[in-house]
Structure 1
Amino acid sequence: MVGMEADGKMGVHLDVSTPGYAGRLEVVEGPTGRRVRSASEKARIAAESLMPGAQVSAIARKHGATRWQIYDWRLRLRLGELVLPESQEPLFAPLLVEEAPLPRVTPKPPKSAPAKVEIAINGMVIRTTVEVEQLAQVIRAVRASR
């Protein structure tokens, strides 16, 4: 094998061309990829994720965060550890309460003069005066007695 040397263990070879060469080392300057966010920015992002229809994964992608960070910030926002800045306009719509419609009341028929009723059952006759509202009750009572 050309360019392969044994490392002292049987059957294991290292891909090095010269002894002591560890490989290529590249130094990258600038931001490390880790973002430092202020508490107000975390609160704003968490509040955005609580909006109706918002998806945590989409909010995380939009802001370069992870879903778990967003969930943590939401919890901290609920616990009061993160607070939205006072100068920022509210992110939630104001609550509107509509009054429930009043239940429909069926109008009672106007009181009329008492009606004279005569009921004949098995040779027996009952004569009485009854208000119109009570006439149905009288008829039900007579039917139930049969």
Structure 2
Amino acid sequence: MGVQLDGSIGVGVSRLEVIGGPSGRRRRTKAERARIAAESMMPGVTVADTARKHGTTRWQIYDWRKQIRKGNLVVPESVAALPFFAELVVDDSATEASAAVPGSDLEIVVGDIVIRAGPGVDEGQLTRAIRAARAAAS
């Protein structure tokens, strides 16, 4: 009795090769899993891109993110020290300044750069402006 490859009758395999070695499963340490999951949470980074970069699946990364939230994985200190959000400062004098600039409801200061946005600003456009300001301030 032979093993058929293509479904045609009478053609069998005379040799079957079994490749030994690692099972193909990667064993990652808790620190590696936490670092990869934290990388996927950085602004502008997608889970799919992170998964592709590290040879894992999106679902593993989502699971590792859940484990971080539950406290089962600890984010490395080098990653935890990075700012995830910008500091928000509410200044009462801003209402007086907004009278000088008609139509601006939001003012973002990045270093020496001031970004003013009106009520109908596109989120993507504002994100690109903030990234450009951060790059210029660096």
TM-score range, shorter chain: 0.5 to 0.7
2:82 is matched with 92
1:45 is matched with 36
Shift of 1:42: 0.5
Identity percentage of aligned residues: 48
Matches within 5 A, 1:1-146: 13-16=9-12, 23-86=14-77, 88-90=78-80, 92-93=82-83, 95-102=86-93, 103-104=95-96
Relative to structure 1, the CA distance from residue 99 to residue 77 in structure 2 (aligned partners, 3 Å threshold; closer, same or farther) is same
1:122 is matched with none
Shift of 1:53: 1.1
Which structure: greater helix fraction? 2
Show structure 2 runs of 5+ residues with no match: 3-7, 97-138
Relative to structure 1, the CA distance from residue 13 to residue 72 in structure 2 (aligned partners, 3 Å threshold; closer, same or farther) is same
Return 29-38 or 52-61, whichever deviates more: 29-38
* Separation in structure 2 between the aligned mates of residue 23 and residue 92 of structure 1, nearest angstrom: 59
Shift of 1:34: 0.9
Residues 48 and 91, structure 1, Cα contact 8 Å, conserved in 2 = no
Q: Which string of whole-angstrom CA distances, capped at 9 and with x for unpartnered residues, describes residues 14-48 of structure 1? A: 423xxxxx542223233322100011110110011
**1:47 aligned partner, one-letter code:** A
Structure possessing the higher radius of gyration over alpha carbons? 1
Residues 35 and 79, structure 2, Cα contact 8 Å, conserved in 1 = no
Show structure 1 runs of 5+ residues with no match: 6-11, 17-21, 105-146
* Separation in structure 1 between the aligned mates of residue 81 and residue 24 of structure 2, nearest angstrom: 29
**2:70 aligned partner, one-letter code:** L
Shift of 1:91: 5.5
**2:19 aligned partner, one-letter code:** V
Shift of 1:52: 1.0
* Separation in structure 1 between the aligned mates of residue 17 and residue 34 of structure 2, nearest angstrom: 37
